[in-house]
Amino acid sequence: MAVRLLVPLTAALLLAGCGSAAETQPQQPRTGPKIVATTTWEAGFAKAAGATDITVIVPKSVLHAPDYDPKPSDLKAVADADYVLFAPFESFAPKITDAAGSDAKKVEVALDNSRDKVKAEVTRLAQLFGTQDAARKWISDFDAEYAKLSGEVKAKWPGGRQPKVVAQMFVGYAADLAGAELLGVYGPEPVTPSQLAELKGKAPQFVFENSHMSTGTVLPDAGAEQIDLVNYPDDDNDLLGVYRANAKKISEALA
């Protein structure tokens, strides 16, 4: 694991962060906590909660974050952080935080884009960061945007009839966004032959697949259209962008 290789670099990296540049450049006042997030998904929650100083470790080119090998620059980033945000399956994050000797508070983020769970998690993080006012504003905007997007998708229902879907478990929230009837979920493990037969027997019209964990066509020969959905925001860390992107994909498929 790359963490073992990075540990001997800790002292050198911390010394490097105290070089002449810090002596000659004035320090800028901090306007909020300094956050290090493993991915843009955690960063999206942090930004929604009101954080403004956010560093993301795992680049978007790495589709499966647990496979990421940390770099020396990541060790330096967590050494300077107030909070390190990670998912329970991203075990490298607390390891490099400890390796850097950081005083940062390690915070597991419940990565679930379901409407109510998002609002609960944003509220919890805002209480940690002391950014409750910003979080309340974001939640108000989120409720309004969610209702707008959901209405736009429902307006595309074929023949005005509620679509029937199956979904990978981490994108099941998209069924609520679309107002679809969720017939069943699968994953994150590969679909077994018996599960395949069961899901196919439900006669779904659409499959909501998780593009970050996709293994190809989920229900071949089932006559269901597969829609690859996202969980992670873009580099702007805008969590609302996830819902906009998915609403657009679903609307296009329904139409």
pLDDT tens string 20-56:
333 333 444 456 899 999 999 999 999 999 999 999 9
Identify the DSSP state of 186. E
Other CB atoms within 10 A of residue 211 CB: 16
CA pair distance 19, 15, nearest whole angstrom: 7
At residue 15, the pLDDT reads 34
CB 169 within 8 A of CB 185: yes
Pinpoint the alpha helices (H) of the chain.
2-6, 10-16, 20-24, 40-48, 72-79, 92-99, 115-129, 132-154, 173-178, 193-201, 239-254
3-state helix, strand, coil in the chain (%, to 5): 50, 15, 35
Which domains does the chain show, CATH number per domain? 2-111 (3.40.50.1980), 148-254 (3.40.50.1980)
SS3 227: strand
Q: List residues bridging with 226 in a β-sheet.
A: 207
pLDDT number for residue 23: 34
Give pLDDT, residue 18: 36
Q: How many CB atoms lie within 10 A of CB 206?
A: 23
Cα separation, 111 vs 48, in Å, equals 13
Instruction: Please provide the size of the chain in residues.
Output: 255
At 31 the pLDDT is: 60
State residue 157's pLDDT score. 97
Residue segments in the chain with a per-residue pLDDT below the cut of 70: 1-31
Round to whole Å and give the CA distance between 95 and 97: 5
Answer for the pair 210, 168: CB distance below 8 angstroms, yes or no. Answer: yes
pLDDT given for residue 24 in this prediction: 34
